[in-house]
């Protein structure tokens, strides 16, 4: 059964099989309070003129407690392969706290977005100390975008921040994912979530990814070696991309436990076939919205809740499952895009994907 044309097509709509039960929107925004926003810049066609375009880029924002609450959350980061950038993580590792929105953009726009976040925090009186160390992550979009033209401006970051909302999240060629490539096919933004049953705590864990990594032959979907059967016509042999994965949960975890969650995100990536190549910056972040206001200055001792370590296995599974599905959702939602110098990256063909999955008995009709 094919979904209606007016609907955004996601992997489950095609019958791709995944483990685990999702939240209402199957998105990181299923974690109460989390909001996501995008600013997308698509402009120009033809030959590259640095500074003029063509432009295929943007910025994505993730606000852990939404636009109206800037209080910190417990957080941790993990670098599977460090050929990339995620600012602000040194202080997260030191303090265990995330005190800013999380932003994702292209490699050469990290500085502009970082500065814009500080300005936005000042405007909205969300500075919790005299300085700010925002989290801004990146992947490289230079095959499709005039990445040296510095087209992401403060106004785009403000649009992504002010436009952040809960509910359904736009995927594919949007925000920071606009010019990205996944496994040789068009990549971009993807999201997914898992809701644990009540006897396992009833917690929600959601993931959002900016997919820009992997080589065509490596692609695995639903346990099937898709890359063996499907290859884009202009596949490149070298891996020049990266992936950013951000996980959110409402489970009461402390920073060392969130580090354990962040590490498990790499297993969701591995399920889709990536080997985290030398050129791939694979950087992950996990945070929890539990323990409201964990950095209250009015108290010398702050009481916090912590889930016991031996109760974390369901959350580990949720992190792996949601990361895998978010990556596939990014590819399924993405559309064919032509960028600088006529470079074209094809979308993963839904009909051919389904045919291969059906051949292996892995399509949920």
Residues annotated as part of the active site: 242, 280, 282
Q: CA–CA separation, 211 vs 192, rounded Å?
A: 13
Residue with tokens 């636009």: 67
Q: CA–CA separation, 333 vs 172, rounded Å?
A: 5
Question: Taking CA 292 as the corner, what is the angle to CA 287 and CA 293, rounded to the nearest 5 degrees?
Answer: 100
Alpha helical stretches, state H, 208-340? 226-229, 255-271, 313-333
- Would you state the torsion angle of the CA atoms of residues 347, 352, 358, 360, taken in this order, to the nearest 10 degrees? -80
Token pair listed for 96? 């265990």
**β-strands 337-338, 102-106 pairing:** unpaired
Query: How many helices (H) and strands (E) in the chain?
Result: 8, 14
Q: CA–CA separation, 62 vs 101, rounded Å?
A: 6
Q: CA–CA separation, 175 vs 188, rounded Å?
A: 8
């Amino acid at each position: 059964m094919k979904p209606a044309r007016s609907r955004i097509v996601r992997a489950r709509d095609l019958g791709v099989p995944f483990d685990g039960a999702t939240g209402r929107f199957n998105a990181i925004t299923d974690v109460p309070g989390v909001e996501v926003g995008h600013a997308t810049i698509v402009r120009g066609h033809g030959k590259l003129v640095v500074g003029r375009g063509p432009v295929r880029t943007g910025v994505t924002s993730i606000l852990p407690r939404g636009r109206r609450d800037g209080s910190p959350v417990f957080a941790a980061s993990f670098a599977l392969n460090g050929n990339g950038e995620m600012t602000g993580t040194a202080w997260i590792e030191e303090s265990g706290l995330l005190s800013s929105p999380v932003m994702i953009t292209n490699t050469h726009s990290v500085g502009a977005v970082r500065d814009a976040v500080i300005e936005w925090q000042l405007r909205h009186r969300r500075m919790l100390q005299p300085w700010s160390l925002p989290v801004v992550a990146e992947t490289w979009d230079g095959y499709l975008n005039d990445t040296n033209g510095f087209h992401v401006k403060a106004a785009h970051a403000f649009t992504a921040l002010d436009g952040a909302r809960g509910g359904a999240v736009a995927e594919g060629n949007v925000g920071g994912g606009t010019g990205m490539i996944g496994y040789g096919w068009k990549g971009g933004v993807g999201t997914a979530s898992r809701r644990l049953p009540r006897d396992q705590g009833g917690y929600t864990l959601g993931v959002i990814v900016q997919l820009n990594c992997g080589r065509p032959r490596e692609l695995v979907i639903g346990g099937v070696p898709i890359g063996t059967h499907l290859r884009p016509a202009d596949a490149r042999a070298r891996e020049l991309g990266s992936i950013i994965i951000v996980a959110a949960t409402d489970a009461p975890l402390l920073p060392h436990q969130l580090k354990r969650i962040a590490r498990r995100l790499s297993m969701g990536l591995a399920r889709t076939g990536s080997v985290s190549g030398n050129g791939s910056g694979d950087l992950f972040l996990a945070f929890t919205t539990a323990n409201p206001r964990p950095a209250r200055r009015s108290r010398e001792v702050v009481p916090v809740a912590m889930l016991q370590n031996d109760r974390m296995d369901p959350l580990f599974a949720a992190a792996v499952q949601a990361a895998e599905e978010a990556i596939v959702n990014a590819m399924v939602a993405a559309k064919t895009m032509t960028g600088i110098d006529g470079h074209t990256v094809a979308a993963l063909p839904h009909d051919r994907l389904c045919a291969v999955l059906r051949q292996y008995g892995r399509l949920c009709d």
